[in-house]
Amino acid sequence: MTKPLRTLIVEDSEDDAELLLRELRHGGYDPAHARVETPEAMSAELSAHTWDIVFADYTMPHFNAFDALALMRNTGLDLPFIIVSGTIGEDRAVVAMKAGAHDYILKGNLKRLVPAVERELRDAAVRRKHRQDEETIRKLAYTDPVTELPNRARFIEYIREAVAVGLREHHPVALLLMDIDRFKDVNNTLGYVSGDTLLRQVGARLRSALSGHELVARLGCDEFGILLPRLASADDLEQFVKKTQNILEAPFMIDEIPIAVEASIGAALWPDHADEETLLQRADIAMYRSKQMMSGYAVYAPEYNSYSSERLSLMAELRDAIDRGQLLLHFQPKVEIATGRIVGTEALVRWQHPRLGLLMPDKFITICENTGLMDPLTRWVLSDALNHCQGARREGIRLRISVNFSARSLHDKHLPEVIENMLKITGAEPGRLTMEITESAIMLDPKRAEENLATLSRMGIYLSIDDFGTGYTSLANLKRLPVNEIKIDKSFVTNMLNDKNDAMIVRSVIDIGHTFGIRVVAEGVETKEIFDALAALGCDEAQGYYISRPQACEQLKKWFTASIWKLPSAS
Ligand code: C2E
Ligand code: CA
Ligand code: CA
C-alpha cells in the first residue's frame, strides 16, 4: 500500500525534482507534489494547499533554502523541512540545521531520503499532538465549565493585559466584583443543579450588558468579575453599574419559579486605587463594604481597608508566631503508583494559634505574602522540614521532602544561598529536597525565576511545578526550565471520573510531562477508583486523602508501620 504524501518541492531543476519523487515512490509513498522556484510561488502554494513536507534545494538562482525556511516559518507553519543539495559542506549543514531545517540530504546520496522523511513525519506528528494538548489545556484551564465564561486564571491575565494597554494609551481601567446575595439559599433550597442554572443565566445577562472590549468572568462560587478596560470617566463607571443592576432586576426563571437576585458590587480603579497586583483585592474590599452597608454598590476607598480587622490582628500575631514556636509542619506522603512505594512527603505548614486553634495555610499564607513575613516563614519551614528528613534518615527511613515556595521567595536573589546554608547546617543532601513552585509564581518574573531555578537545579535540588493546569505554562517554558516534576492540580484530579474536561486535562498533562522526561504527580487523589484510573494513564506518583491525610510527624511514623504502602529502606 502506498502512503499519500503532499509534497512541496522548492527546486529549479525539473529533473532533480523528478529524482526526488522517484526515490519517494520507491520508499512506498505516493507523492502529490508541486514544484516552485520563487518566493512568490512558494507563498501561494503554502496558503492555497495543505502540505505534509517541504524539500528545498540548497541554492537556486533567485532563491535558496534559508529564505524558503524563513518564509515557511513566517506563515506560522511547522512542517518537516528537508534541504536537498548537490553541494553542501558540513559547516553549512550545521548552520542550516540551527536555522531550523530538520535534515539535509545530498542529491548524490538519496538513499537517506526515505528514512529521514519517515522520521520527520513522525516527529511532526508528535509536535502537532503537543500543540493540540497545549491548546486543550489552555482552553479548558481558562474556562469556567458551568457558565462557559473565562475563569479566574484567565481574568487575572486580562487584568494584566488591560493595565498594559491603559498604561500605553493613558486611560484608567475599572474592575467590578459582583457577588450574588444569598446564593447559598438558592443552592440549598433548589439544589445545586438549579444553582448552576441560575449562575449560567446571570452570566448570560451580564454578558449582554457588555460592549466591545469589556469582559465578564466567573471567579468563584457566586462571584463574577467585570473588567472595563477603556474607561473614559468615573461617570461612565456609575452608568455601567446602573445598567448592570437594571439588567439583573427582572426575576430569573428557574424550574418555572421566579427568583429575584440581588447583587453586591464593588469597584476599584487602576491607577487611582490600586496597581495591577492589588486591583482585584481592592475591588473585593469595596464589595465587602457594599455588602455591609447593604448599598448594592461601593467604590473602593482606603479607609475601607480596616474592615478586615481580623486579618490585621492575625498579621500582628503572625510576626511572633515563628519565634514563639507556634508553627508546625504536617507531612503528606507521596506514593509511586507502579510500585506502591512511599517515595516522599510534602511538608505543609500549620499555625497552632493560642485562641483560634490549628489554622490552615489559607488563613495566613496570603497575609505573609503581603507583609514581608514570607521569607522568615519559608526559612523556618525549610529548616524544620530538612531536620525532620534527617531525623527520619537516622531511623532508617529514606524519603524525599517537598517544600512549598511562594512567588516572593522564588524571586529572592538570596534564595540559593539560604538553601545552601540550610542544607549544610542540617546535613541533608540536596537531592532529597524538592521545591514546589506554582506556575503563576514563575510567570510573575520569568527571567529572575529562571536564573534562581537554574542555580538551584545545578545544586542538585529537584524542582516541581505545583498546581499545574491552573495557570498557563507553555511547553516552551517547561522545556526551558529545569523541571523534574509537575503536579496536576487537585481540582482536575478530584473530578476526573465525572468530568470529561478534567479527565482530558489530566491525560494531556501526563502526556506532556512524559515527552519531556518529567515525572507527573497527581494530587488530591481521594479514592481508589481515581488511583486506578491514574495508574491506567501512566501517571507516576499520587498524593491525597486516599493514601493519607497530612499528619504530624509522630502520627506519620505510626502510619508508616501500619500502612499498606511500602517504605523504602535506607541505604
Ligand atoms: P498545595 O501545595 O497544593 O498543597 C496541597 C493541599 O491539598 C494541602 O492543603 C493538602 O492538605 C490538600 N490535600 C491533600 N490531599 C488532598 C485530597 O485528597 N483532597 C483534597 N481536597 N485536598 C487534599 P493545605 O495543607 O491546606 O495547604 C494549602 C496550600 O497552602 C498549599 O497548597 C500550599 O500552596 C500552601 N502552603 C502550605 N504549606 C506551605 C509552606 O510551607 N509555604 C508556602 N509558601 N505555602 C504553603
Ligand atoms: Ca504543594
Ligand atoms: Ca498543589
Distances (CA, A) of 26 to 80, 415, 428, 490, 517: 20, 60, 61, 52, 36
DSSP 343: E
Report the separation in Å between the CA atom of 345 and the middle of ligand 3, taken as the mean of its atom positions: 13
Q: What nine digits make up the cell of 472?
A: 498557563
Residue-range domains of the chain with CATH:
3-142 (3.40.50.2300), 152-300 (3.30.70.270), 328-562 (3.20.20.450)
Q: What's the pLDDT at 89?
A: 64
Residue nearest to atom 7 of ligand 1 (CA): 524
Whole-number Å distance, alpha carbon 466 to ligand 3 midpoint, is: 5
Scanning 332-372, the segments in alpha helix (DSSP H) are 365-371
CB of residue 524 inside a 6 A radius of ligand 1: yes
Q: Which amino acid is at 481?
A: L
* CA 490 – ligand 1 centroid, Å: 10
Q: Supply the pLDDT for residue 571.
A: 47
pLDDT value at residue 473:
59
- Residue among 239, 226, 306, 219 at smallest CA distance from 266: 226
Q: Is the CB of 381 under 6 A from ligand 1?
A: yes
Residue with C-alpha cell 447559598?
184
How do the pLDDT tens digits run along the chain, 571 residues long?
789 999 999 999 999 999 999 999 999 999 999 999 999 999 999 999 999 999 998 878 888 888 999 999 998 899 999 998 877 666 776 777 788 899 888 888 888 899 999 999 999 999 999 888 888 887 788 888 889 999 988 999 999 999 999 999 988 999 999 999 878 788 878 888 889 999 999 999 999 989 888 999 999 888 999 999 988 777 888 899 999 999 999 999 988 888 888 899 999 999 999 888 889 988 988 888 888 777 889 999 887 776 555 666 777 788 889 889 999 999 999 999 999 999 999 999 999 998 889 999 988 887 776 667 888 899 999 999 999 999 999 988 999 999 999 877 887 888 899 999 999 999 999 999 999 998 777 776 778 888 889 999 999 999 999 988 776 556 566 777 899 999 999 989 999 999 888 898 899 889 888 988 999 999 999 999 999 999 999 999 999 999 999 999 999 999 998 999 988 764 4
Write the residue with the smallest CA distance to atom 21 of ligand 1: 524
The helix/strand/coil state of 42 is helix
Chain-centroid distance, C-alpha 523: 15
Q: 348 CA to middle of ligand 1, Å? A: 6
**Ligand 1 geometric centre to CA of 259 (Å):** 37
C-alpha cell at 311: 486579618
Position 233, amino acid = S
Of 330, 346, 404, best ligand 1 pocket probe by most atoms within 8 Å of the beta carbon: 404
How long a stretch of residues is the chain?
571
| CA-closest residue to ligand 1 atom 41 | 349
Ligand 1, atom nearest to 368 Cα: 44
C-beta of 42 in contact with ligand 1 (< 6 A): no
Nearest CA to ligand 1 atom 12: 524
Distance separating alpha carbons of residues 217 and 219, to the nearest angstrom: 6
pLDDT at position 211 is 86
Does ligand 1 lie within 6 Å of residue 544's CB atom?
A: yes
Cα 348 to middle of ligand 3, angstroms = 11
CB atoms under 10 Å from CB of 189, counted, come to 11
Element (H, E) at 341: strand 341-353
Q: Which ligand 1 atom lies nearest to the CA of residue 545?
A: 18
Q: What is the pTM of this model?
A: 0.63
Is the dihedral angle over the CA atoms 559, 561, 563, 568 positive or is it negative?
positive
**What separation in Å is there between the alpha carbon of 540 and the centre of ligand 1?**
20
Atom of ligand 1 nearest to the CA of 381: 41
> Measured from the CB, is residue 348 less than 6 Å from ligand 1?
yes
